Structure 1
Amino acid sequence: RGLSTEGLPDIAASEGFLVGEVTEKSILISCPNENVSTKFLAPYTTFSRIHQKSITCLDISSGGGLGVSTSTDGTMKIWQAANGEIRRLLEGHVYDVNCCRFFPSGLVVLSGGMDAQLKVWSAEDASCVVTFKGHKGGILDAAIVDRGRNVLSCSRDGTARLWDCGTSSCLGVLTDCGSPVNGIALGAAHAALDLGLPQEAP
């Protein structure tokens, strides 16, 4: 609703929500009915010169030292997380690059673009190590299985695919839903969950 005399934002919450602590760098919002609260933090560093257009994806290496980002300007860049200094420009996709992920080692990057290609890059010399081809539409998201022997991708073509990095081959089409698959989340299944066998689903 404006600023207080101390220069802090005066915030009114909508029905069911409460505004807690408000500082120059954070706002605490809670929903008592659901017994949840979230603290929104302001950025303490902004890097405004890495890309010229909209950023489509961002990832940070497991050690926290490097960042990788993709953009609608068709570029993918690796940069120092501490100061935003660009270390590598990864060129090879045609049109927009939609997703990027560091492998657990922090030395390799996975990317997917509107050119329907999934690529693996060396973060050390910016070379493209592997290109996976098989999707019929732009790749919208990707994930890395465990340490990176396998990767997953999903696409506007309605499929999600499992790939083998060693042989650069598609191991299988995981789903075909007839409309774009926008995102992938990957995690370990709980031991109590009966996943059955590949030949016999539960």
Structure 2
Amino acid sequence: MEARILLQNDWPEALRKNEGEAWVACKIPGKPTVYGTLKSQGVTDDGSFEITASEEFRVLGVSKKSVHISCPYANAASKFLSPYTSFPGIHDKSITCMDISCGGGLGLSTSTDGTMKIWNCKNGERRRELTGHVYDVNCCRFFPSGMVVLSGGMDTLVKVWSAENGSCPVTFKGHKAGILDTAVVERGRNVLSCSRDGTARLWDCGKSVCLAVVADCGAPINGCSVGVADNTINQGSPEEPSSDREVGTEDKLLLLAREDKKLQAVGLQSRQPIFLFEGSDAFNCCTFLSSIYVLAGTQDGNIYKLDTRNAKTAVQTIHRSGAPVYSLMPYREGFIVSQGDGSCYLIQQDLDHVIELTGPEADPVYKAAAWEKCIFTCCRDGLVRKYQLSDL
């Protein structure tokens, strides 16, 4: 675990007042935490802050929405970015899942208030509500076109919706327990779902049928991700004749984050196991960084980076907090992490550059999504927050 700098979640409000203060701390593995303060000397004409730090810390840069802080004693530094804006009126309760359309114009979210809604990414204005699931909707995502939505709920159903008029032309039935995650294969002729019943299923959207139970794990599957396999990986032979193969599933790997502390990779066409990696706790989420590298996050805060060609041991293990890792998303040259302690951050792959997305106090951030230089997060406090990296 590397040293990590923490900053008061509402630091912009605290420092906007003259002589206002915000706390800052640096957690150092195996050593006492270093505590300090930032003090405002006022706000400049362009809206940025004039800030001084107590002797344990240094302010390396500051703007209207960001501050760059270092702790020389721990040889640590981080940039902190506050939200560009936030949308409080989309849902009435915790927002559990979210996605952004390919053009960046529409947002999609689900909530413990039992609703799934489409909204405007500029102002949070609600466009329509997608109604049809019974009980909570656990997961939602846009198809690559941005005009179609895929969802899964506690009612064991997987549904395909029109984002334009809210209709639901396709409902997949077959799972025996609630759906926990979904994935879209290429442009969306096929989709995948994983469930508390321990199975991952492949569906044909055009025929509205289940093509196969791709995996039966015997334990709930909390997350899934599909990606292109490196051509050096032997995925075995397909189980059915080539004339029956699903279009778009060749050379794909399905990654499964399992409740029983295992991360599993399966050849999507062959149904053959590629690897089974055991972690420190239940896996909550997983994603592909490339055709070779994958990431997976656990309930006890570990993030494992694995090489799919040799996944016996992790290439890298990142542990910045003991809080559950709820989402992982590739972003440019790195990835975005959200956790159960309210933290959400962007890590560059060399780990030398960390951008902390501030705002939540201690409420879990369940999901992050991005479009160009905008990052959106959803949180237990019922807010969608929008960050602009151009504010750094």
Q: Answer yes or no: same fold by TM over 0.5.
A: yes
Q: 2:87–2:124: 8 Å Cα contact kept in structure 1?
A: yes
Unaligned 5+ residue runs, structure 2? 1-6, 9-13, 35-56, 71-75, 240-269, 275-392
The farther-off stretch of 36-45 and 73-82 is: 36-45
Deviates more, 1:20-29 or 1:109-118: 20-29
Q: 1:88 aligns with which of 113, 128, 133?
A: 128
Match of 1:133 among 168, 173, 186: 173
Counterpart AA for 1:15: I
**What is the 5 A alignment of 1:45-124?**
45-124=85-164
Residues 12 and 92 of structure 1: is their aligned pair in 2 closer, same or farther, counting only changes over 3 Å?
same
Aligned partners of 2:120 and 2:79: how far apart in 1?
27
Rounded to whole Å, the distance in 1 between the matches of 2:163 and 2:78 is: 35
Determine the structure 1 residue equivalent to 2:206: 166
Cα distance change on mapping 1:41 and 1:94 into 2, 3 Å? same
Gaps of 5+ in 1: 31-35
> How far is 1:150 from its partner?
0.5
What is the CA distance between 1:41 and its match in structure 2?
A: 2.6
Distance apart, 1:26 and its partner CA: 3.8
Residue aligning to 2:313: none
Evaluate the alpha carbon distance shift between residue 120 and residue 39 of structure 1 in structure 2; reply closer, same or farther with a 3 A threshold: farther
Deviation of 1:195 after TM superposition, in Å, equals 1.7
Q: CA RMSD in A?
A: 2.9
Shift of 1:189: 1.2
**TM-score between both structures, scaled by the size of structure 1:** 0.86
Tell whether the 8 Å contact from 1:99 to 1:113 is kept in structure 2 after alignment.
yes
TM-score, with length taken from structure 2: 0.46
1:22–1:172 Cα change, 3 Å: farther
Mark the CA change 1:42 to 1:150 in structure 2 (over 3 Å): closer, same or farther.
Answer: same
170 and 39 in structure 1: CA distance in 2 versus 1, 3 angstrom threshold? farther
CA 15–153 in structure 1, closer or farther in 2 if over 3 Å, else same: same
Quote the Cα distance in structure 1 between the aligned partners of 2:217 and 2:128.
37
Cα 1:109/1:14, change in 2 over 3 Å: same
CA contact (8 A) 1:8 1:22 kept: no
Q: What residue in structure 1 maps to residue 386 of structure 2?
A: none
Deviation readout 1:5-39 (Å, 9 max, x if unpaired): 86463322111599885756346689xxxxx9764
Residue number among 6, 9, 15 corresponding to 2:22 in the alignment: 9
Alpha carbons of structure 1 residues 180 and 6: separation in structure 2 relative to 1, 3 Å: farther
Residues 9, 22 of structure 1: 8 Å contact kept: no
8 Å contact 2:97–2:138 — kept in the other structure? yes
1:92-138 CA-to-partner distances (Å, cap 9, x unmatched) read 00000011110011110000000000000001110001000000000
**2:218 — aligned with what?**
178
Counterpart of 1:43, as a letter, is P
Number of positions where the alignment pairs a residue of Structure 1 with one of Structure 2: 200
8 Å Cα contact 2:61-2:69 kept in structure 1: no
Structure 1 pair 193–40 and aligned structure 2 pair: CA distance change class (3 A): farther
Distance 1:163 1:137 in 2: 17
After superposition, the Cα gap between the structure-2 partners of 1:15 and 1:92, relative to the gap in structure 1 and judged at 3 Å, is same
Please list the CA deviations of residues 20-78 of structure 1 after superposition, one character each: whole Å capped at 9, or x if unmatched. 85756346689xxxxx9764532211111110111110000011000000111111100
* Secondary structure, aligned partner of 2:224: coil
From the two aligned structures, give the one with the greater strand fraction.
2
Residue 33 of structure 1 aligns with which residue? Answer: none
Do the aligned partners of 1:74 and 1:97 also contact (CA within 8 Å) in 2? yes
Decide whether the 8 Å contact of 2:110 with 2:117 is kept in 1: yes
Whether contact under 8 Å (1:110, 1:121) holds in the other structure is yes
- The share of aligned pairs that are identical, in percent, is 63
Aligned-partner Cα distance in 2 for 1:128–1:97: 14
The equivalent residue for 2:234 is 194
